[in-house]
């Protein structure tokens, strides 16, 4: 391996170490954090390759090999297919399928509005000192906002839900934020 390549690998590992220490859950090793990131990427790739799940709004979080699927799908069958796709990825120990079924099929105007709501919620969370958007995933379907990911306290969880509920167009907030393991 060339010296440049070795330094690049070291820089990536150092960045992953710092990122997991500063903002993520506690890992027993850097390799485990990288493995979880790899699992997440591979699950997302599997979902994109499956024609049934490709167009769905699915968030993927992985901690210690446990994959959490959150977001919205058009049918329970698509949700089951997403969980099946995730289980087939190497390194996945368990899959927690918390996907919700949309109220109806996709409608262009509603999809545009949902995209706008999602961006407005992300912006509101980013501008509030009580919330950390790097660990909060936002998805919207039919004006229903789902917050997923991890926060450091119940206060942050409640603040994120409150902030999201005040965004114009939000009909309801499903606050699926969880406390960081080890806190």
Domain boundary residue among 101, 132, 155? 101
Mean pLDDT of the chain: 77
pLDDT band at 87 (very low <50, low <70, confident <90, very high): very high
Q: Could you tell me if 94 and 131 lie in one domain?
A: no
If asked whether residues 125 and 94 sit together in one domain, one would say no
For the stretch 169-178, pLDDT in tens is 888 888 888 8
Range of the domain at 24: 3-101
CA distances from 120 to 8, 56, 64, 142, 159 (A): 36, 20, 32, 15, 16
**Cα angle for residues 177, 179, 183 (degrees, 5° grid):** 170
- 92 and 135 housed in the same domain: no
Confidence of residue 22 (pLDDT cuts 50, 70, 90): very low
pLDDT per residue over 43-80, tens digit each?
A: 888 988 888 887 677 888 888 899 999 888 888 899 99
């Amino acid at each position: 391996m060339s010296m440049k390549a070795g330094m690049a690998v070291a820089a990536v590992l150092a960045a992953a170490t710092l990122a997991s220490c500063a903002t993520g859950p506690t890992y027993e090793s850097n390799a485990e954090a990288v493995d979880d990131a790899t699992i997440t990427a591979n699950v997302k790739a599997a979902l994109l390759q499956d024609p049934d799940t490709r167009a769905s709004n699915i968030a993927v979080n992985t901690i210690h090999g446990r994959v959490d699927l959150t977001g919205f799908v058009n049918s329970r069958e698509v949700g089951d297919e997403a969980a099946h796709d995730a289980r087939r990825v190497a390194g996945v120990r368990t899959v927690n399928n918390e996907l919700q079924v949309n109220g109806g099929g996709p409608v262009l105007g509603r999809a545009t509005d949902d995209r706008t709501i999602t961006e407005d919620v992300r912006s509101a969370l980013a501008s509030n000192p009580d919330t950390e958007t790097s660990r909060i995933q936002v998805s919207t379907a039919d004006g229903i906002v789902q917050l997923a990911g991890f926060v450091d306290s119940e206060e942050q969880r409640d603040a994120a839900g409150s902030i999201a509920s005040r965004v114009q167009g939000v009909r309801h907030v499903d606050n699926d934020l969880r406390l960081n393991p080890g806190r």
